Amino acid sequence: MSVVQNLASIRKDIPSWVKLVCVSKFHPESTIMEAYNAGERIFGESRVQELMEKQERLPNDINWHFIGHLQTNKVKYLVPFVELIHGVDSLKLLLEINKQAEKINRVVNCLLQVHIATEETKFGFSPEEILALYQSGTISNLSNIRICGLMGMATFTDNHQQVRKEFQSLKALFDTIKRTYCAENDCFTEISMGMSDDFQIAIEEGGTLVRIGSSIFGQREY
């Protein structure tokens, strides 16, 4: 099936309040343009160098989301244009994003990545670490970062019950933070969860941003 057909079929499963991030990593600009011409404007990339090259050459009304593991030494390249950084997973990274954003007088949108999977290889804060960041006032002191919500990746498994439980744990943490620390502001609104294989479950469990790659663009060639 073509990118346009894939998108049409995925769009049917995504309600209007959920945003689709088209994960275009490893795919060429011509393929991205097929999705762009079909109306998509949010694209997700996971490598800084690749994102920079694509951003320069593709239309400037694309909202670029960074979804990969970000190294602190690369933050300065993203900060001028990135719309949302999904996977912020350490205090060191938060401080660096804030510092680079301050230099250019920008407020950068970020999601805190939570480790919800059983695999140890996936990145992210524990729920306790995130609550401590809020409790201590660390988050509110980062004046050039807007924390828009949370991001998580479920365990890679066919066990749907397990995936669902992991998404539920992310939603529960989101609700706690929203109620306890963000009741007065309306910027803590996003839960980024769900990929090609599990986005329907993620939407049922309250996801607001789904990150879909292979179901739109086909298999990646690494």
Ligand X SMILES: *Cc1c(COP(=O)(O)O)cnc(C)c1O
CB of 180 to ligand X, least distance (A): 27
For residue 208, state whether it binds ligand X (rule: CB under 6 A): no
Q: 64: closest CA among 52, 49, 72?
A: 52
d(CA 7, CA 75): 31
Residues 105-134 that bind ligand X (CB under 6 A): none
CB 168 within 8 Å of CB 205: yes
Number of neighbouring beta carbons within 10 Å of residue 56: 9
User: Of the listed pieces 8-16, 51-59, 140-148, 189-197, which binds ligand X according to CB under 6 A?
Assistant: 189-197
- 3, 23, 110, 193: residue in contact with ligand X (rule CB under 6 A): 23
Residues 128-167 that bind ligand X (CB under 6 A): 153
Number of neighbouring beta carbons within 10 Å of residue 77: 15
Residues 50-89 that bind ligand X (CB under 6 A): 67-68
d(CA 74, CA 48): 7
Residue nearer to ligand X on the CB measure, 30 or 219: 219
By the criterion CB under 6 A, which residues form the site for ligand X? 23, 25, 46, 67-68, 153, 195-197, 211-215
